[in-house]
Amino acid sequence: MIHGVRTFVPLLMQQTEAYIVNTASVAGLVAAPFMGPYNASKHAVVAISETLHHELAMSAPQVKVSVLCPGWVNTKIADSARNRPGHLQEGVAPDADAAALLRGFIEQGMPPDEVAAKVLDAMREERFWILTHDEQGDFWVDGVNQRLRSLEARANPRLGLPL
């Protein structure tokens, strides 16, 4: 993502209008257990996107920025290890139970075409935050709201997700 920003933002700033959508995850808004490196990388995408949003609003307001924070989406992400180079696969044995649980969540996830429609709607509205699972009562929304309440109260974080 950083390389994309460095490469394309200067070019986009020369356009009469442009749009950047960076993909993070709801894990960029909440910190679920056993996902530290993933959470950190997604929080970074959110922070860089928000910074870029402010900077471009000041220097190139014709370039809009959004950050996509999807919950479970029915993709092939559970099979992503297939892309890991052979020399990095040695000694990496996925936990079969965790993999099955992850696969189950993903298979029940939102279809990618619904995510795409939400992205297009957000772009039309020039909305920075794109949360795919945005209905009250949805455990992603509840997890984000729990984090916000915890922060506001200066309270220790509580796990607001059913994991």
Residue pLDDT, tens place only, 112-122: 999 999 999 99
Which amino acid would we find at residue 52? Answer: L
Q: Is residue 135 part of a domain?
A: yes
* Total of domains in the chain: 1
**Residue-level pLDDT at 89:** 67
- Confirm whether 132 is domain-assigned: yes
**How much of the chain exceeds pLDDT 90, in percent?**
55
Is 10 domain-assigned?
no
Long-range contacts for 114-122 (Cβ within 8 Å, ≥24 apart)? 115/68, 115/70, 115/73, 119/21, 119/66, 119/68, 122/66
Where is pLDDT greater, at 134 or 39?
A: 39
Q: What is the CATH number of the domain that holds 48?
A: 3.40.50.720
Catalytic residue among 5, 32, 38, 142: 38
Tell me how many helices (H) and strands (E) the chain has: 6, 3
Residue-range definition of the domain harbouring residue 126: 15-81+94-152
Structural domain contains residue 89: no
Number of C-alpha atoms within 13 angstroms, CB side, residue 145?
A: 10
The sign of the dihedral angle between the CA atoms of 71, 72, 73, 79 is positive
Instruction: Examine the residue annotation and report whether 19 is marked as an active-site residue of this protein.
Output: no
- For residues 129 and 27, what is the distance between their CA atoms, to the nearest angstrom? 14
The answer to the question of residue 9 being in a domain is no
DSSP E strands, 51-109: 63-69
For the segment 56-113, what is each residue's pLDDT rounded down to a tens digit? 999 999 999 999 999 888 887 777 666 667 776 666 556 677 677 777 778 888 899 9
Whether residue 49 is contained in a domain is answered as: yes
